[in-house]
Amino acid sequence: MKKFVTLALVLVLSMTVSFVAYGDEFEGLEPATIIMADGAAKGAVGNLWAELFAQKLSEITNYKLTVNYYGNSALGSDTDIITQMQAGTVDACDMQSMNVVSFIPQLGVFELPLVFAKYNTATIDKVVKPGSKFFDRLNESFRSRGFELIDYLQGGTYREMSSNVPAITLADFQGIKIRTLTSEYQVSFWKNLGCIPTPLAFTELYTALQQGVVEAEENAIDTQVNSQFYEVQRYLILTHHVLYGNLLYMTSAKYNSLAPAYQKAIRDAALAASAELQPRLKDINDNAQKVMVANRVEVIELPNEVVDDMIRATEETNQLIRRNIGDEICDLLITSLAEADRGY
């Protein structure tokens, strides 16, 4: 009995010491606040990640370092938010890589045609998460532009094509009028597939599909569902052309102004939030696909040989990206994915 009481006392003291030590890490540090913003709609992946990150950071630092989060474009578009970060009025954001390419050109590497399409979530994570060679190389580009890359969240899901015209083979893409982002890489990609790419504001897209101004569009499936595109589209074509991933990053000025303990807490909070959210991403994607099907949208899965045809057809896009950002980072991503897939 005496041994049991002694052991219990040791365990309690051990837990107390650990808790105190954890709290002491931030003892004496001035409270600080991070201003964070994004364009993610309520309930979208970006919004869920930002809210969870803010919660984890408060908990880790015993509420010494907190986040004031402005989601759903409360502070403007993605471009507006990045401009505010450069001006020092916003400290952090999370958004898809395509929205940051004009500020950090090396992010164009994520638009290499179907570069992730044949890999699973775990393999991709080995390459894009903190600690990998590719992540470190990408962060060099962020730092050169006055930013600090914190984390990357993905769940093996993609931006996919929806259309009123079925596409099962490469030839079927010919002549389809598709709304694209203004990204030169996306315009090039769809043009090389034989489509007629039409950059168009997202706010105009539903009406454009309804009136036949365009026949197709591409977005994450949950975005398509939230926008009720199933009312004006007949096919969901699983093109897997761009990975549906989100970046979390800060201004270098804000990040470097914080104590090392706070910097570590930021990275720990981001990783904890993404680890908790990541398993839900596939469910979000799968449930959105079920909603599309329930609304009489037919799902078309492209076989590997068609994916290979698409990669060959978009070689011009591959070369365009390489000319703009260089072979080094492109080759690093491709090599890293292949090595991760082989278990290296």
Task: Compute the distance between CA of residue 188 and CA of residue 238 in angstroms, rounded to an integer.
Answer: 19
Arithmetic mean of pLDDT over the chain: 92
- Amino acid 226: pLDDT: 86
Pure H helices in the chain: 2-24, 45-60, 78-87, 121-128, 133-144, 184-192, 205-211, 221-226, 252-257, 260-294, 304-313, 315-325, 327-341
Domain parsing of the chain, residue ranges = 32-341
Q: What is the mean pLDDT of residues 188-215?
A: 95
Token pair belonging to 31: 């409270």
Indicate the CATH number of 32-341 among 3.40.190.170, 1.10.1040.50, 3.40.50.1700, 3.40.50.11890.
Answer: 3.40.190.170
Pairing type for strands 196-199 and 177-180 reads: parallel
Please check the confidence at residue 5 and state whether its pLDDT lies above 70: no
* Sequence-ordered list of residues with C-beta below 8 angstroms from that of 39, at least 6 positions apart, any chain: 46, 71, 72, 73, 77, 78, 81, 95, 99
pLDDT of residue 11: 35
Note the pLDDT of residue 271: 98
| Interval 69-127: pLDDT, tens | 999 889 998 999 999 999 999 999 999 998 899 999 999 999 999 999 989 999 999 99
The confidence score (pLDDT) of residue 316 equals: 98
Place of tokens 């026949």: 215
Q: Are 90 and 303 in contact (CB under 8 A)?
A: no
